[in-house]
Amino acid sequence: MLTRSEPAVRNPRRERRLWHDESRNTTSLGCLGCRERDLCGLLRMKAAFFDCLQFCCGKPATCDRVCRNHPDYVDRVREVGGFALDNVARAPRLDAPALPRLVPVIFHGNRRDLSVPSSAVALPLYRLLDRKTGAPRFTDHAALCADFGIACGTTIMLTGTDRDPPLERWWQLGEAGRRPIIRALATAGIGLVTTPNYSLFIDRPRWDDLHAMKRIAIVHQEFLAEGMPAALHVNGRTETDFLRWADYVAARPEVSHLAYEFTTGTGWAGRKEQHAAWLAGLAATVGRPLHLVVRGGVEVLPTLASAFAGLTSLDTSIFMKTMMRRRAVPAGNARIAWQRALTPEGTPVDGLFADNLTMVHGWYADMAAPQVVKEPVPA
C-alpha cells in the first residue's frame, strides 16, 4: 500500500508508523471535525499527524489523488456517486464454477507443447485486453485456450489484481466501455473474475481510500449485471473499512465470493495477521457461506480456511519459476525451495511445470488446512 510512484527502497519503519492500529493509537484531533468521519472511522496511527490532509502533496497539476485540496475533487466524488456503498445498483446472484484449493496463474502459452494439467487456471484480466484500445483480444473459447495452452473446457478464472496502470485503464474505459468487454469475456468461456483491486494507500488522504472502495463495488456490480460471476475484492486498511464491507456483503446475497491479496503492504509481518483477522471477522459478521480467492499470505491460510466455507489460492510461482527453469523441492514443513533445473535450449517445460504443480499443490493443501482448536483437558 505505497504510492503509485513507489520509492526504489521502502522504509519499513516509516510504513509501520503509518499503519492504522485502533488498539494502540488514539484518534487525531483533526479527524473529529471531518464530514467523512463516519465512513472513514477515523485513523489511528503511531506517526504524529493532525488529519489525513497531512498527506496532500500540494501539487494539483500533477496529482492523481482524491483529495479535498484538489480542484477536481467534486468531479471525482460525482464519478462514483459519493463514497457510500449502499447506492451501488443491485445485481443478480450467479452460480460460480467449483474451484479447487490451488489454481495456477498462467501468463502465456510459450515454451509448452501440452495443456496445463489442472482443472482450473487463472489468467491476468488485462492480458485479455488490447493495451491500446482496451478491446477484448478473444471472443472465442477455443482461440483463448489455444493461445494460453489450456485444454478446452478447463475452468478459467481472471485475476484483476495488478499494478495501478492496468487498473486505471480499466476504469477509464467507462461503464459503457467495460460492459461490452465483460460480455465478450463471458462468451469466451470465462467462469469467474476477481474484481480490480483499486489500492488503499497508507500515505494518501483518506478520501482516496473511500473512492477506491466505491470503485471496487461498482465494477463488481457491473460484472454480475453482465452475467459474469465475480469475487468482490474487499480492500481495506481499518476496522471500519471491513465493517462497511461486511454490512455491504450481508445485505447483498449476490455476493458469494470475495478476493484478497497479501503480496504488497498487506504481506508484511505483523500486518498480514491483522488483515487475516479482519477478513475472518467479516466472514463471521456476514453469517452465510462465502468463498475466498486469495493471492499470497500462505502463513495465514489456516486462519482464512477456518473462517470461510471455501478457499482458493491463486499461485504465480509455479508458472514463473518453471519459466526460469526452477524445480520446487520441500524445504522443511513450512516452505518450498526452488532449485535450478536447466533444460536443453528449445526443450518444452511441460514436465517441469507438471512436477512443480504437483509439489506446490500438496504443500498448499497442508498449509491451508483449517486450524484445529483443541478442547482443554479437564483437571
Rounded Cα distance between 232 and 195, Å, is: 6
Say what the pLDDT of residue 125 is.
95
3-class DSSP assignment, residue 29: helix
Residues in the chain: 379
Q: By the 8 A CB rule, do 221 and 59 touch? A: no
Say what the pLDDT of residue 371 is.
60
Say what the pLDDT of residue 43 is.
82
Say what the pLDDT of residue 372 is.
53
Beta-strand relationship, 120-124 and 102-104: unpaired
Rounded Cα distance between 151 and 2, Å, is: 38
Say what the pLDDT of residue 3 is.
38
Q: By the 8 A CB rule, do 236 and 206 touch? A: no
Say what the pLDDT of residue 1 is.
42
Instruction: Please give the average pLDDT of every successive group of 10 residues along the chain, which has 379 residues.
Output: 46 75 77 88 82 88 92 96 97 96 96 96 95 89 96 96 88 94 95 94 91 97 98 94 97 98 77 93 97 94 95 96 96 85 93 96 79 52
Looking at domain 102-367, its CATH superfamily turns out to be Queuine tRNA-ribosyltransferase-like (3.20.20.105)
* Region of 296 on the Ramachandran plot (φ > 0 left; ψ -120 to 50 alpha; else beta): left
Say what the pLDDT of residue 6 is.
45
Say what the pLDDT of residue 5 is.
41
State the CB neighbour count (10 A cutoff) for residue 98: 12
Say what the pLDDT of residue 375 is.
52
All structural domains of the chain with their residue ranges: 12-79, 102-367
Helical (H) or strand (E) element with 282: helix 272-286
Residue position matching grid coordinates 482443472: 119
